[in-house]
Structure 1
Amino acid sequence: MRLTLLVSTALTALLVAAAPAAAQAPAPTAPEKVFRYAYRVDPASLDPHALAETFTLSWLGQVYEPLVGRGKNLELVPALAEKWEQVDPTTWRFHLRKGVKFADGTPFTADDVVFSLQRVKKDGSDMAYTVASVTDIKKVDDHTVDLVMAKPNPILPVQITSTYIMSKDWAEKNGATAPASVKAKVENFASTNANGTGAFKIDTRQAGVRTVLVPNPNWWGDKTSNVTKVIFTPIQADATRVAALLSGEVDMVYPVPQQDAARIDGSGNAKVLKGAELRTMFLNMDQKRDELHTSDVKGKNPFKDKRVRQAIYQAIDMEAIKDRIMGGTSHVAGTMIAPGINGYDAKLDSRTAPYDPKAAKQLLTDAGYPDGFSFTMDCSNDRYVNDERICQAIVGMLGRVGLKVNLNAQTRSKYFEKVLARDTSFAMLGWQPLSYDAHSTLQDTMNTPEGKIGTYNIGNYSNPKIDELTQKIEVEVDPAKRNALIFEAMMLSKDDYSHIPLHQAGIAWGVRKGVNAVLRSDDSLELKWVTLD
């Protein structure tokens, strides 16, 4: 009896001691936070050096990172470089962040920086202009790199904020050591795969349909976002995109058409975040060919005549475009740079000549074209806010002064392929300087095309004085002198009607309640700052 009691007591004690372990429930897991968003198009490529298009670079900035980044107010912030300095007038030294890994676990070192910037300068890269002044890239040690220039360049750090760093090891293993040019229709492993140091990495991707991103567990930065999964869907049609937001299918959409803003704000489930773009929309005219392409004028090029360029300018009612197409939200541009771009001067931001169809007709007559002439206009139909509608309006306005314009509106992939090959007579383009500095607009859209300079000067405009001023602006360190040089260059452009600036569009993002996102004036969504309630 006693033995039985002792055994029973011991067994009970053993069971009691074991009970907590046996009954312990698994630790609760945090609820999944899925962020679903839609933009009008898909990234053109996953190769970070393939196309200097704002959306593609912005999207890739979730996966890849530059040496120098941008903060919530577009201020310069450390990224893969913790700090940078000019060790002499022609050398910028970048001190790299230690302990950084790529998404595949490979350590980030100076070798990756040297490789990436050399890759950026290769044929096929659309980003070469960002390091055009760099003549040599030197590894000082595993975490220090020198960028050497032939002449001083005080603005180099602001020029490379979208110049992303790739893994040398990954690129070499996968045959992606050269850029996969979008405009040349070249593809390699980097076109459809990515391995960066950014806050997110690609989990699955079906190009043009759906891409799933997840947090990069190797990311070095402060993890302020609580998002556990991101689902990105390109939705081209404005109405479909807005309907997806209002139905709860997605948590955010952009851009939001102006006519839908009130409906979203009044839905009770979503709201519209509004701002102003830094991108200037403008028209390019072929000013190089001796005979204008796709025109009934033979043996000469009417766009070489300033009177013709001014006639086109005065035939376009920019206020009507603002009111009837942009819903009153755009800012009519008097110059090629937007308010908010370094070097902007409000004194330049007004029309060079008034809207005046009668004066436009007289200018055409004076130039020898009393009955006008014909040509083709190239335009995207899925890249910029209301792009095809704007082009249609311009075609109609030019028609009223006798210019017979055939509109060729295409998807952005075909459009960029065509115009970047300079197979165009007249085209609408948008430009937002990646540096947020006027020098980029001058160098990349107005400088005489030569090598990696003037890449987006698709009309081949050439003015030696503007070229000279652009070079001086790049090396001038005194802000007042530099701004005076910018003013002079932009005034020359205005007086010459080198390009026809149209407007900066308004920014509008639609977000459902419970979504917190940072709206920046570069229209770039940073997933690392998105939180869900």
Structure 2
Amino acid sequence: MKESYWGKYWRRRVSRRRVLAGGATLAAGSAAILAGCGDDDDDDDAAAPAATQAAATQAAAAAADDDEPAEDSAAQDTAADEPEEQAAAVEDRSRYGGKLNYTYPAYPTGFDPSITITFPFGMATSYSQMMAYSIVEDQFYPDAAQSWEQVDETTLVFNLREGVRFNPEAEGGREVNSEDWYISLRRYPDSRANRGSNVNELFFSFMDEGQGATFDTPDDLTLRINQNKPFASNTRAFAAASLVVVSPERLAAEESGDLGQVSGINAGSGPYMFDNVSETRISMKRNPNYYEHPEDLPGTRFNRDMPYIDEMETVIITDGAASQARFLAGDADYYGSVDKITAEQWEGQPSVNIQTGPAIDDGSIMIQLAAAKWTPYPELSKALSMAMDWDGYIDVVLGGEGRYSAPVSPTAFPKYGLSQEEIKQYQVYDPQGARQLWEANNGPEIFPELDTTVPAWVAAFPNTQFIGQSFEDSLGVKVNYNPLELATYIASANGPTGTKDWHFFIAGNNAISTMPDWNALVAYTPDGYGAIWGGNWYKGVNISDPWVNPDNPNYAENGGGPNGEAVRAALEITHPYARELQDYADRQAATFDDDERAEILKELQHRIFSRYCCTLPLPTPTTKYVAVGSRLKGLVPPPDGDQTAAFGMWRAHNIWLEG
């Protein structure tokens, strides 16, 4: 496959369009590939369903109830004008209704928000977050929390919105209270330590009770978090999709075996709830208990009453080419990010609109090295960097439009980022020097071949192949590509250090560009997903316990002793350098002085580059291209529109379907 795909490029340097046609639309390594597809049946979209009409009637009735007689003439004059304005607002329901069609490359690995990261749109739509955040507006917008206050560096208080209720299947749709939020938030550390969670510790470690945090719930609508450390990005973490409130009764029923479903289905209070879930199709309908957002804030994408769209249906299609074909046929309303070449090929097709905006995903696609394998050999990881054709990657994979990237996006966070000149001093393509360094440090004996994993559900993985071919040509080492299905792929990436079945991995973390700690930096520091280092072991959290302790309830499930010995040995190898990097990360997260934070973040990035282990950031596009179905309207362009954490596609209420 590699010879037929790349041979002509490497021998003749053929045009980028010919090399990449049909394959470059997918970012290999990303755990959640966004694609678009759906049902051919559009008949239901012609008229607003009964649920929408009923909602309009309820809204009209509520408006009428609000028109109470005024006690003075001025108030009466004002009131006399209000019914006409309210009636106009209520009667114009033209944007309400319809079913949004989408596709996904595999059945989600779970529905429990404290565990899964493979179903971000489901988490964003069926659960409630405290607030939303817009990169463009640089502003927070109240959601399940009406307001919040950072009382001091380690005390965060949320004033919850009154009237937020779970969906009808979650304990009859009772009202959400502060105790529910406490129970929900305290689950994350346990899920990470003992239940195979892929939710990053960055989101919750500052409120981990095992590390000294406490919670107070003085009344039903007040949640006080006494953090175990300062964390300057705490509110931005709450604005992302992962930290949500879950019905304790629903989860208890699942744990007792009463539901017969995976944890979390219809346990939320978000705008939608699951209607039907199967291995081939997931459909969602409105949550009739959904609450209002009365705040009239500039730039908000919350509607006052409910989202415009009535239903969402996701079809599971594992074949990337088939997903593309269905989107281009007009059977999907959203596809997601594509590269420049694909955007130019699809532009002008009747069912496609291409949105563009500044790309802020610097460092979110990277070459990750298995830390336990490479940490003892810094000269060999440096040789890998020298073997990589960085400019060729921009020319071929990115269609000639890109820039060198770093762990913190200089576009999203200009004050914290490194300049192109600073990055280029580390990422120098020198194939002859790479071969000499590789051979001088026994590379052929230590790494006679290099293994990597690739997503089996995509049509092609040109970026991984380009990188592998660079290594082969520069170093003379054979690269093996191992395709894996989604669940296995994620397990392979996120398993504990010491158990990696790969030498390098082209990873994508769907960088949440709303917070500098996460803006790809999370993939470079030990409190990340574990693809490099293996988690917070160095902090006293024994993340190897499920592998080494026979009394741990997940001991047998995780393989027991042999794996445990490998994990423990690997952590001993990686600990000193991991500790150094994490010290930097902890210091920047703890300071509320922006100048000090910028200095620390720049120092950290220089250290990551100069050590060449165990993550090498890949060049990033300068422009973001997003493919949207022609009938989907109102979606803001990047950088907000494609970001779940930035009030984008799956959080915004004010997108609608035309026709």
TM-score of the two chains, using structure 2 as the length reference: 0.66
Mapped pair 1:212 → 2:283: yes
Give the alignment partner of residue 243 of structure 1, picking from 313, 321, 325: 325
Matches within 5 A, 1:274-313: 274-275=356-357, 276=359, 278=361, 280-288=364-372, 292=373, 303-313=375-385
Are positions 1:61 and 2:124 aligned together?
A: yes
Distance 2:184 2:643 in 1: 26
| AA partner of residue 580 (structure 2) | K
More helix by share: 2
More deviation in 264-273 or 36-45? 36-45
Q: 1:23 aligns to what?
A: none
CA distance in 1, matches of 2:163, 2:155: 25
Task: Give 2:31's aligned residue.
Answer: none
2:427 match? 353
Question: Could you tell me how far apart the structure 2 residues matched to 1:42 and 1:270 are?
Answer: 26
Q: 1:412 to 1:327 in 2, by over 3 A?
A: farther
Name 2:49's counterpart in structure 1: none
Where 1:174 maps in the other structure, the secondary structure is helix
Stretch deviating more after TM superposition (356-365 or 521-530): 521-530
Residue type at the aligned position of 1:103: N
Alignment of 1:164-313 (within 5 A): 164-175=244-255, 189-191=261-263, 193-207=265-279, 209-221=280-292, 222-223=304-305, 225-256=307-338, 258-275=340-357, 276=359, 278=361, 280-288=364-372, 292=373, 303-313=375-385
Compare 370-379 and 495-504 and name the one that shifted more.
370-379
Matched, 1:37 2:102: yes
Q: Secondary structure at the match of 1:392?
A: helix
1:151 to 204, 224, 229: 229
Aligned residue identity for 1:532: L
* Partner deviation per Cα, 1:465-484 (whole Å, 9 max, x = no partner): 32222221121111011110
The equivalent position to 1:496 in structure 2, one of 611, 614, 621, is 611
Matched, 1:377 2:444: no
- For residues 311-352 of structure 1, the C-alpha deviation after alignment (integer angstroms, 9 at most, x for no partner) is 1011111332333233345x3444223344446414254451
Aligned pair 1:437/2:510, yes or no? no
With 110-119 and 63-72 compared, the bigger mean Cα shift is at 63-72
1:488-528 Cα offsets, whole Å, 9 max, x none, are 11111111112111133564333333321234435442262
C-alpha offsets along residues 110-150 of structure 1, whole Å, 9 cap, x if unaligned?
Answer: 11101101111213233343110111122121110111123
3-state SS in 1 of match to 2:166: coil
From the superposition, tell whether residues 349 and 39 of structure 1 become closer, same or farther in structure 2 (CA, over 3 Å): farther
Q: Where does 1:2-21 land on structure 2 (aligned, <5 Å)?
A: none
Q: 1:478 to 1:242 in 2, by over 3 A?
A: same
Please tell me the residue identity of whatever aligns with 2:608. Answer: S
SS in 2 for 1:380: strand
Q: Secondary structure at the match of 1:219?
A: coil
Please say if residues 280 and 333 of structure 1, whose CA atoms lie closer than 8 Å, have aligned partners that are also in contact: no
Equivalent residues, number: 479
Q: Which has the higher strand share?
A: 1
CA distance in 2, matches of 1:142, 1:261: 49
Contact 1:139 1:145 in 2 (8 A): yes
Change (3 A) 1:254 1:43: farther
**Cα distance in 2, alignment partners of residues 496 and 270 from structure 1:** 44
Unaligned runs of 5+ in 2: 1-90, 208-212, 293-303, 527-532, 544-569
Cα 1:327/1:376, change in 2 over 3 Å = same
Moved more, 135-144 or 374-383: 374-383
Counterpart for residue 625 of structure 2: 508
Question: 1:379, 1:388 within 8 Å by CA — same for their partners in 2?
Answer: no
What does the per-residue CA deviation read over 1:151-182, in whole Å, with 9 as the maximum and x for residues that have no partner?
333321112333121112222233289xxxxx
Q: Residue 62 of structure 1 contacts residue 528 of structure 1 at CA under 8 Å; is this kept in 2? A: no
Q: Within 1, Cα distance between the matches of 2:254 and 2:334?
A: 35
Write the distance in 1 (CA, Å) between the matches of 2:393 and 2:305.
43
> Conserved in 1, the CA contact under 8 Å of 2:356 and 2:638?
no
**Is the 1:159–1:435 Cα contact (8 Å) retained in structure 2?**
no
Indicate the residue corresponding to 2:584 in structure 1.
469
Alpha-carbon deviation of 1:194? 2.7
Instruction: Decide whether aligned partners of structure 1 residues 158 and 531 sit closer, same or farther in structure 2, where only a CA change above 3 A counts.
Output: same
Partner of 2:655: 530
1:2-151 correspondence to structure 2 within 5 Å: 33-52=98-117, 56-71=119-134, 73=136, 75-104=139-168, 105-122=173-190, 123-124=194-195, 125-127=197-199, 128-134=201-207, 135-151=213-229
Name the residue aligned to 1:12.
none
Q: How does 1:401-416 map to 2 (within 5 A)?
A: 401-416=475-490
Deviation at 1:106, TM superposition (A): 1.9
Does 353-362 or 29-38 show the bigger shift?
29-38
- Take 2:391 and 2:227, find their aligned partners in 1: how far apart are those partners? 44
- What residue is the counterpart of 1:478 in the other structure? 593
2:387–2:431 Cα contact (<8 Å) kept = yes
C-alpha displacement of 1:309:
0.8
Partners of 1:435 and 1:321 in 2: CA distance:
23
Change beyond 3 A, Cα 1:378–1:164: farther
Counterparts in 2 of 1:351 and 1:245: CA distance versus 1, 3 Å: farther
Name the aligned partner's letter for residue 486 of structure 1.
L
Which segment is superposed worse, 189-198 or 491-500? 189-198
For residue 506 of structure 2, what is the aligned residue in structure 1?
428
1:41 CA displacement: 4.3
Letter of the 1:194 partner, please give it.
Answer: N
Structure 1: gaps spanning 5 or more residues: 1-26, 178-186, 293-301
The answer as to whether partners of 2:360 and 2:513 remain within 8 angstroms in 1 is: no
TM-score by length of 1: 0.80
Task: Give the secondary-structure state (helix, strand or coil) at the position aligned to 2:619.
Answer: strand
Which one is further off, 398-407 or 500-509? 500-509
Q: Distance in 1 between matches of 2:443 and 2:311?
A: 60
CA shift in 2, pair 1:518/1:42, >3 Å: farther
Distance 2:620 2:256 in 1: 37
- Tell me how far 1:355 sits from its aligned partner: 0.8
Aligned to 2:37: none
Cα 1:97–1:119 shift into 2, 3 Å: same
Shift of 1:191: 4.1
Deviates more, 1:88-97 or 1:272-281: 272-281
- Aligned-pair distance for 1:190? 4.0
TM-superposition CA deviations, 1:420-443 (whole Å, max 9, x none): 223223222123444732323545
Task: After superposition, give the CA deviation of every residue in 1:270-313 in whole Å (9 maximum; x if it has no partner).
Answer: 2212342526111222333xxx4xxxxxxxxx552221111101
* Greater mean alpha carbon deviation, residues 62-71 or residues 430-439: 430-439
2:525 maps to 446
- After superposition, the Cα gap between the structure-2 partners of 1:317 and 1:176, relative to the gap in structure 1 and judged at 3 Å, is farther
Which residue does 2:529 correspond to in 1?
Answer: none
Distance 2:429 2:256 in 1: 50
CA deviation string 1:51-101 (max 9, x = no partner): 345xx2243201112223224737432221111112233211111111111
Distance of 1:404 and 1:529 partners within structure 2: 51
Do the aligned partners of 1:380 and 1:412 also contact (CA within 8 Å) in 2? no
Q: Percent identity?
A: 19
CA distance in 2, matches of 1:63, 1:514: 23
User: SS state of the match for residue 529, structure 1?
Assistant: coil
- SS of alignment partner, residue 111 of structure 1: helix
Residues 404 and 477 (structure 1), Cα distance of their counterparts in 2 relative to 1, 3 Å cut: same
